[in-house]
Each structure stands twice: as C-alpha cells, then as structure tokens.
Structure 1
C-alpha cells in the first residue's frame, strides 16, 4: 500500500499497481478522463508535488509532446501507483462544467504500455531538435 496525497482533499491508502486516474477518482475527486484513459484527451492531467515516477509510457510521451506540455504535467491514466505520491488534479468535472468524467478507465494502463525512463525520452527529444 502507498499513500496518495491529493491537494485540497487529503491522503488515502492506495494498492500498489492501481492506475493513478482510478485512485484519484476512488478518493472522491471527479478527475477527467474523457477518452476513457487511452492517453488521447489529456483531461486526466495532474501535477506532481512529490513522488513523480521516473518512467513514462510511449503514449504519454507522444501526447504531451504533441500538445507542448512535456515537463509541465503528467497524464494520470498512464501512471500506476508504485510509491507514495502527492498530486494536484488539473481538470475536474466540476471545474470544467462537464456532465460526467468520461468512460470508465480500465484496470490496466491502455493502450498497451511501453515504459521508458523519462531521462532517456528527454535525451531523445533533444537529439530530434
């Protein structure tokens, strides 16, 4: 079990391997996931205060690069809880005025995750520039 602290909400215990988007929602936060956790819509965005994973899925890397937000936020649908974390959800149903958060994200990360160390991806980005 790990502690997940959500700014403005408090701290909850989360089972190892839980998708972060589901853990945030289970804690009572109406975090967005308009694409159902497929790394397409970016409505599940969070900022890390502590405990940011050092790995990233290829899907998250590509999406954050596409929208010019690499290093500014992470996509909670592409992260599994594997340590204590402190996060701030950036888009919620109530903040955005949506009717609902979106389709329920699956238990496991989708699309099929390809995990890479962030520093490797950052070096790759610099060599592409």
Structure 2
C-alpha cells in the first residue's frame, strides 16, 4: 500500500490505493479544509504535491483554478486518487483558516 507524507503536520501513514487524498488526510487526523463535499467548487482543499506519483491536473481543477485565479502548481485533494507514495503540503486546514469543514467528500 502507498504512503502519504504530510509536510507541516509531520505525519506519514499508509493508505489504500485508489482512495481520495482528501479522505486519506482527514481519516488520518490531518484537518484539511474542504467546504463543498468534494465537488471541486470551493478549492479549499488545495495541496502542494512535493513528491510522488499522481495523475495530471484534471479539467475540473483547471476550470476551478481559472475561475478563482489560483496558481496552477497546486492540486485539489478531492480530485486526487492515491496511486503511489505522495508527499504533500496542505495549503488550508481547519486550524489555519478558522473555518469548519463542509460535508464529508464522497468516495
């Protein structure tokens, strides 16, 4: 099974292949902010991928980033499925934003 390393939270955990990154983070105690339930609308679950295996930026992400003027080197954790080891840095967390997360994203 792949491992996810979280920079800034000093966490590393094993994750089943195919799981959404946002759920892997949340299930392992990383309070990643997510407001729209995993629909790539709010862009609050942004992460920086520092190392590892992942799919290219999706058109959904490209459109969401363009609408909000967000840098394209970031990714939405609700749109990434774990395929191999990853090292990520969350951009917004519940603690850093002072906001409550939205509904749990679906598998």
The equivalent residue for 1:19 is: 20
- For structure 2, list consecutive stretches of 5 or more residues without a partner in the other structure: none
Tell me if 1:96 matches 2:94: no
* Partner SS state of residue 66, structure 1: helix
Q: How many residues of Structure 1 are paired with residues of Structure 2 in the alignment?
A: 106
Kept after mapping to 2: 8 A contact 1:2/1:83: yes
Deviations 1:60-95 (A, max 9, x none): 111112223243311000110001000001111111
Aligned-residue offset at 1:48: 1.0
Aligned-residue offset at 1:54: 3.9
The TM-score, its normalising length taken from structure 1, stands at 0.77
Task: Report the structure number with the largest CA radius of gyration.
Answer: 1
- For structure 1, list consecutive stretches of 5 or more residues without a partner in the other structure: 108-129
Deviations 1:30-56 (A, max 9, x none): 111100110000110000110152423
- Give the alignment of 1:97-116 within 5 angstroms: 97-98=98-99, 100-107=100-107
Q: Which runs of 4+ in 1 moved over 4 A?
A: none
Q: What is the root-mean-square deviation in Å for CA atoms of aligned residues?
A: 1.3
The TM-score, its normalising length taken from structure 2, stands at 0.91
Q: Distance in 2 between matches of 1:5 and 1:15?
A: 14
Q: Taking CA–CA contacts closer than 8 Å with sequence separation of 6 or more, which of the two structures ends up with the larger relative contact order?
A: 2
